C-alpha cells in the first residue's frame, strides 16, 4: 500500500471541522486514516507532540529533511493588522500563520483547505472582516488569497477546497482517501476548487421538504414543516453539497433539523446581504431562485402548483407536525 503523510494546521477558524471529522463513522477516523496508509505527522487536536516537538517537525519540513505529502489547513488566514498577519502568530514560533502557510504550502505535494474559512475566508471574514481573513487560494469569490494567485502544489494541483461550515467528516476523509490513491485530479474539482464528489449535488436533492417545494407550500415560521425557500432564507436549491443524500450525525441535515440551508459551502455565504433566516423579495418574488431555471418558467410553474396545492400539504406546511396524513388518515 502507498503511504501518505499529512500535516494539519489550524488558524483563524473555530476548530469545528476537526470536531466534525471526529464524528466520522464506519470506521472511526483514527482507524480510517491508519488503514488507508495515511500517517498524521501532526494534528493540533489529537497528536501527542506539543511545543518544541512540533517546532522541530516544522523546521524539518521547511529544511526539506521531512517530505510533506499533504498539508491540510483549517481556518482562514488572517492578514491583519496592517498586512502583518500578527492577528495569529503561531504559538511558540514568533512567526505569523500567514508566513508559515506561505512557507509550507509550496513544499507540500497537495494542499487541502478544510472548511469554508480556509477555502474562501468564511465566517471569519464576516461583517467588516476585522482581522483581514482570507482563504488559502481565494479571498471570498476572488482568486488569490494567502497564497499567490495561480498557486500550485508540488503535484501541479491547485488548492483543494473542501468547503463547508463545518465540513462533513466524509468530505474530508474521502478527499484524503482519494489523494492517497492519487485519484483526485483537477477535473475532479469544480470551478471553485471543491471536490465534485460532494459539490456536484445540491442540498435540495433528497431534502425531506421537497413535496412542499413542489407546491410552494411554504413555512412562515421556523418549526413549521413547509418549504423554507419562499420566506425563511433557504437556498438549498442553489447550494452545492450532498447534505440530504448523505446525512449528518446519523440522520440529520440543516433542513431535516427544520432550519434553512445558508449555502455554507460557497464563498461569501457569511454575508448574504439579508438576515440569514429571511428571504429577500422584490415585488413579492423571492430573490435567488434556482440558478439554472428561467425565472419566467419558475414563476409560471409556481403559480400553477400553488393553485393546485392539496389540502394535506397546505395544512402540514403551516404545522410543526403532520396534521393530515397521506390518504386522509386513519379510518375510524
Q: Which residues are annotated as a binding site for [3Fe-4S] cluster?
A: 243, 261, 264
Which listed residue (255, 263, 265, 316) binds other proteins by CB under 8 A? 255
* All three cell numbers of 118: 480556509
Q: Checking DSSP bridges between strand 4-10 and strand 68-74, what pairing results, if any?
A: parallel
The binder of other proteins chosen from 35, 196, 278, 300 (CB under 8 A)? 278
Question: How distant is the alpha carbon of residue 223 from its chain centre?
Answer: 24
Question: Phi first, then psi: what are they for 34, rounded to 5°?
Answer: -65, -40
Q: What is the DSSP annotation of 185-197?
A: -GGGB-TTS-BHH
Question: What's the longest Cα–Cα distance across the chain?
Answer: 79
> Which three three-digit cell numbers place residue 154?
508540488
Q: Which is nearer to other proteins, 275 or 294 (CB)?
A: 275
Q: Which is nearer to other proteins, 88 or 109 (CB)?
A: 88
Per the listing, cell 498586512 goes with: 83
Interatomic CA distance for residues 218 and 236, integer angstroms: 14
Q: Cite the annotated binding site by residue number.
A: 14, 17, 117, 165, 204, 207, 227, 234, 243, 261, 264
Q: Residue 74: name the closest of 88, 95, 58 by CA.
A: 88
- Name which of 49 and 305 has its Cβ closer to other proteins: 49
The neighbouring-strand residues paired with 31 are none
Does residue 236 belong to the site contacting other proteins (CB under 8 A)? no
Q: Which of residues 186-225 bind other proteins (CB under 8 A)?
A: 221-223
Site residues (CB under 8 A) for other proteins, limited to 18-47:
18-20, 22-25, 27-31, 34, 40, 42-47
Q: Least distance to other proteins from the beta carbon of 276, Å?
A: 4
Order of strands, edge to edge, in the sheet holding 38-42? 38-42, 4-10, 68-74, 108-114, 160-162
Yes or no: say if 195 and 175 are a contact pair by the CB < 8 Å rule: yes
C-alpha–C-alpha distance, residues 172 and 176, integer Å: 6
Site map 88..127 versus other proteins, x via CB under 8 A:
xxxxxxx----------------------------xx-xx
Pick between residue 50 and residue 281 the one whose CB is nearest to other proteins.
Answer: 50
Residue 17 engages other proteins in binding (rule: CB under 8 A) = yes
Binding mask 120-159 for other proteins (x = CB under 8 A): ---xx-xxxxxx-x--------------------------
The distance of closest approach from Cβ of residue 283 to other proteins in the complex, given in angstroms and rounded to an integer, is: 22
Nearer to other proteins, 29 or 142 (CB): 29
Among the listed residues 71, 163, 184, 262, the single contact to other proteins using CB under 8 A: 262
- Interatomic CA distance for residues 247 and 203, integer angstroms: 11
- Rounded least distance, CB 126 to other proteins, Å: 5
61 contributes a contact to other proteins by CB under 8 A: no
Amino acid at each position: 500500500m502507498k503511504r501518505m503523510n499529512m500535516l494539519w494546521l489550524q488558524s483563524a477558524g473555530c476548530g469545528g471541522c476537526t470536531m466534525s471529522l471526529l464524528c466520522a463513522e464506519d470506521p472511526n477516523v483514527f482507524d480510517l486514516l491508519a488503514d488507508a496508509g495515511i500517517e498524521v505527522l501532526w494534528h493540533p487536536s489529537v497528536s501527542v507532540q506539543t511545543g518544541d516537538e512540533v517546532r522541530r517537525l516544522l523546521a524539518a519540513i521547511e529544511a526539506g529533511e521531512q517530505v510533506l505529502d499533504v498539508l491540510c489547513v483549517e481556518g482562514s488566514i488572517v492578514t491583519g493588522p496592517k498586512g502583518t498577519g500578527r492577528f495569529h502568530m503561531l504559538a511558540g514560533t514568533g512567526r505569523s500563520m500567514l508566513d508559515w502557510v506561505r512557507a509550507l504550502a509550496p513544499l507540500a505535494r497537495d494542499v487541502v483547505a478544510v472548511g469554508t474559512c480556509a477555502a474562501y475566508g468564511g465566517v471569519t471574514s464576516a461583517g467588516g472582516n476585522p482581522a483581514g481573513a482570507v482563504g488559502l487560494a481565494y479571498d471570498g469569490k476572488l482568486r488569490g488569497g494567502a497564497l499567490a494567485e495561480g498557486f500550485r502544489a508540488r503535484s501541479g494541483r491547485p488548492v483543494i477546497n473542501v468547503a463547508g461550515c463545518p465540513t462533513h467528516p466524509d468530505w474530508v476523509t474521502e478527499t484524503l482517501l482519494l489523494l492517497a490513491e492519487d485519484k483526485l485530479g483537477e477535473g475532479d474539482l469544480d470551478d471553485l476548487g471543491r471536490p465534485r464528489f460532494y459539490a456536484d449535488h445540491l442540498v435540495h436533492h433528497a431534502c425531506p421538504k421537497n413535496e412542499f417545494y413542489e407546491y410552494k407550500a411554504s413555512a412562515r415560521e421556523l418549526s413549521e414543516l413547509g418549504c423554507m425557500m419562499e420566506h425563511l432564507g433557504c437556498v438549498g436549491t442553489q447550494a452545492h453539497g450532498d447534505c440530504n443524500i448523505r446525512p449528518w450525525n446519523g440522520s440529520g441535515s440543516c433542513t431535516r433539523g427544520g432550519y434553512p440551508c445558508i449555502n455554507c459551502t460557497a464563498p461569501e455565504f457569511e454575508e448574504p446581504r439579508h438576515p440569514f433566516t429571511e428571504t429577500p423579495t422584490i415585488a413579492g418574488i423571492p430573490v435567488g431562485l434556482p440558478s439554472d431555471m428561467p425565472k419566467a418558467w419558475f414563476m409560471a410553474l409556481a403559480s400553477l402548483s400553488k393553485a393546485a396545492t392539496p389540502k394535506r400539504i397546505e395544512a402540514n406546511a403551516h404545522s410543526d407536525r403532520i396534521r393530515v396524513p397521506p390518504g386522509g388518515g386513519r379510518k375510524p
